[in-house]
Structure 1
């Protein structure tokens, strides 16, 4: 998508100068690097970034500048991009289902770690992946498992993850073949309940014991929450502390090295979206120039957000009494609607702008051009003006 050369002080500075008719996404490199350092300083292990959440090159280069050298990749394109932008990065190929040509590509790019959640996919890896990389380091194969635990916005276990019994067999076979044996899980996206990690780490202990294998690493997944609503500030440090404590309790002196793969929690709060009100229908329904076919694509799954301010075309903040509004996107599809009622100032007018914070994850890469809408500029700012 690319960035302009200008760095604005904040989104309202851009709004006053340009008055854009198309939606604009703003990235604060300072906010992104600060969040990366929050993870690297607080998480008790290796931090890898889930590239799929926002693969913008400026995101990758800023994370590398902040010191990240591990990336969770899900496709050959992501592998190629990270290899180009961060040549010394460790690549963790954690999409558990791959075509044979994708595995061959990954081997050629010296991928360090592969996850797997079925015996049939494990056989593919055994047939195509050597036990050592080109530099002589061993290749890691990590069994991904799932549990019926709640606490997340939606359950990743519906698609991926082996049962404990199958994960036990995978782990034993991996160790027998001479790969680095490890375990991984994903508690589900936007997981606000730290006890989900508690349950998974205890399950990892049971699996390792049943397999008779001392695991080298435990990847505790992504799922770390971003700041979506004003009343709920994510307490990441409390989650980090729980993960460290429970791992020590379960594994003792044989505790594996820990890995995490944040996507949403790493990148979401370093972006804000500026959308324009194209119509205010009978002072009831708000129509925006962006919607669920654009940067709001995951809101129907994730639920509403309320970190929103409204601004006049001159850059004055609207401060009327907050009221819930029905908000539609610009397309002719009736499902193009934000979930629930969106809290907005009562004095908004047609032509005003909404500035929505926390929009950096699963927004830029999933934006479409349905109905001819979807033009989305990306600008750099010093501050997001939250």
Structure 2
């Protein structure tokens, strides 16, 4: 039975600028455009040659899950019982793909109770924990390769070598589960050849194991539009489809992907405020930082899609100069990577807006020092460059 979607009764604002000029918030605000989110979901569904699921870890807010559910996303990549419950609160019939390959016995029990449809493993000891999982369930062996093209890869934490993956795949098939393979090329990956190489090795693993896999999960890793031109996702989709047909031939498995960052990033803009500046203007203090919604910048680097508005909503047009930017906490580690480009006429009280900030912002924000990102406001549109390819 399908669950009831969460209802959000607040009337949407027109855009972030309208809200900021009228409400003058002194706390960071994350603006959500449901239209942008559902449009991105449709883009994946129309372009990817297989099943599209959503990696809940990127942003598990109920507004996100309910809008993706409304857009037709029925499968969700989950990493914990908490994420499973968040999805079930939106749709009791949603399909759960439990792809965190290391689980405690209690987490395995929770996955069984919540009817996870597929599981991933990368070690025999982890596979043995799944003895109570129904044999009608899909079990995917996760493997990793030293392939570049991403901002950072996941291979150090998860993923068996190809040889070990072939051994595990044979055990999965012999044990009666539906055998599958999965991989993740690494976050913010723009190189289609990363997927191509993984798919080629997946075919070799299946051949070595003597197993025809039911499905191949090509992971997430699809790049969001952070700087410069928008990534060419269709080129990646086309490369995945062609590589699968070429590598597997008549034994080509069904495909599945699990975008997180690329699915949700574009639908949000984060508005911060300048709390203060050093007298020489070289150092800026914001009301959000590394312990809050800007935490992802620590690992991903500075984005280019940043704009500054006066409290009255006037865009600051001065020459952009690099600034040293600190967050609001008393910790000196609360500092953005060096050189955020801000207009020379930016002043205390101005709003600094970061576009494409839906992924790993509110999901990883803390409450350190009493600060943090807690406010989400729905808007009809995000203004700025959101949704546009330069």
TM, length-normalised to structure 2:
0.95
Matched, 1:49 2:54: yes
Gaps of 5+ in 1: 132-137
Task: Give distance in 2, aligned partners of 1:48 and 1:5.
Answer: 28
Is the aligned partner of 1:91 residue 2:88? no
Q: Residue 121 of structure 1 aligns with which residue?
A: 126
Give secondary structure in 2 for the equivalent of 1:39.
helix
Q: Distance in 1 between matches of 2:229 and 2:155?
A: 25
For the Cα contact (< 8 Å) 2:293–2:373, is it kept in 1?
A: no
For residues 239-258 of structure 1, the aligned pairs below 5 Å read 239-258=236-255
Whole-angstrom CA distance in 2 between matches of 1:287 and 1:223: 32
For residues 109 and 62 of structure 1, the distance between their equivalents in structure 2, rounded to whole angstroms, comes to 22
Q: Tell me how far apart the structure 2 counterparts of residues 309 and 359 of structure 1 sit (CA, whole Å).
A: 13
Q: After superposition, what is the alpha-carbon deviation per residue over 1:126-177, rounded to whole angstroms, capped at 9, x for unaligned? A: x22121xxxxxx2000000000111111110010000111110111011111
Conservation of the 8 A alpha-carbon contact between 1:155 and 1:189: yes
Shift of residue 373, structure 1, vs aligned partner:
1.3
1:23 corresponds to? 28
Counterpart of 1:6 (choices 11, 14, 24) is 11
Kept in 2, the 8 Å contact 1:4–1:380? The answer is no
Q: Deviation at 1:4?
A: 7.3
* Residue pair 2:302, 2:337 contacting (<8 A) in 1 also: yes
1:3 CA drift (Å):
6.8
Whole-angstrom distance in 2 between the partners of 1:267 and 1:167 = 31
Q: Does 1:208 align with 2:212?
A: no
SS in 1 for 2:129: helix
- State the shift of 1:340 in Å: 2.2
Q: Partners of 1:297 and 1:81 in 2: how far apart? A: 23
The answer to whether residue 299 in structure 2 is matched with residue 295 in structure 1 is: no
1:110 is the counterpart of 2:118: no
Alignment of 1:171-210 (within 5 A): 171-210=169-208
- Residues 310-363 of structure 1: CA distance to partner in whole angstroms, max 9, x if unpaired? 000011111111111111111111111111211111111110001110100011
Within 5 Å, give how 1:127-276 maps onto structure 2. Answer: 127-131=131-135, 138-229=136-227, 231-276=228-273
Asked if the contact 1:3/1:379 (under 8 Å) is kept, the reply is: no
- Pairwise CA distance, 1:365: 1.5
**Cα root mean square deviation, aligned:** 1.1
Q: Are residues 1:34 and 2:39 paired?
A: yes
- Contact 1:3 / 1:378 at 8 angstroms: preserved in 2? no
Once the two structures are TM-superposed, the CA of residue 6 in structure 1 deviates from its matched residue by 3.0
Which whole-Å CA distance do the structure 1 matches of 2:341 and 2:9 have between them? 32
Q: Would the aligned equivalents of 2:154 and 2:186 in 1 still touch at CA under 8 Å? A: yes
Cα distance in 1 for partners of 2:326, 2:306 equals: 15
| Residues 171, 208 of structure 1: 8 Å contact kept | yes
Residue 375 of structure 1 and its aligned partner are, at CA, apart by: 4.7
Query: Deviations along 1:42-68, whole A, 9 cap, x unmatched?
Result: 000000100010000000000000000
Aligned mates of 1:191, 1:375 — CA distance in 2: 27
CA deviations on 1:75-103 (whole Å, 9 max, x unpaired) are 11111221221122111000000111111
Aligned residues: 377
The C-alpha deviation readout for 1:248-271, integer Å capped at 9, x for no partner, is: 000011100000000000000100
Superposition misfits of 4+ residues, deviation over 6 angstroms: none
Aligned counterpart, 1:339: 337
Whether contact under 8 Å (1:4, 1:379) holds in the other structure is no
Helix, strand or coil: the match of 2:155?
A: helix
Select the residue among 78, 81, 89 that pairs with 2:86: 81
5 Å matches for 1:299-318? 299-318=297-316
Change (3 A) 1:375 1:130: closer
Tell me which residue corresponds to 2:380.
Answer: 382
Q: Which residue of 2 aligns with 1:135?
A: none
Q: TM-score scaled by structure 1?
A: 0.96
Contact 1:325 1:343 in 2 (8 A): yes
* CA–CA separation in structure 1 for the residues paired with 2:178 and 2:335: 47
Q: In the alignment, which residue of structure 1 is the partner of 2:321?
A: 323
Question: In the alignment, does 2:378 pair up with 1:373?
Answer: no
**Cross-structure match for 1:360:** 358
Alignment gaps of 5+ in structure 2: 1-6, 385-390
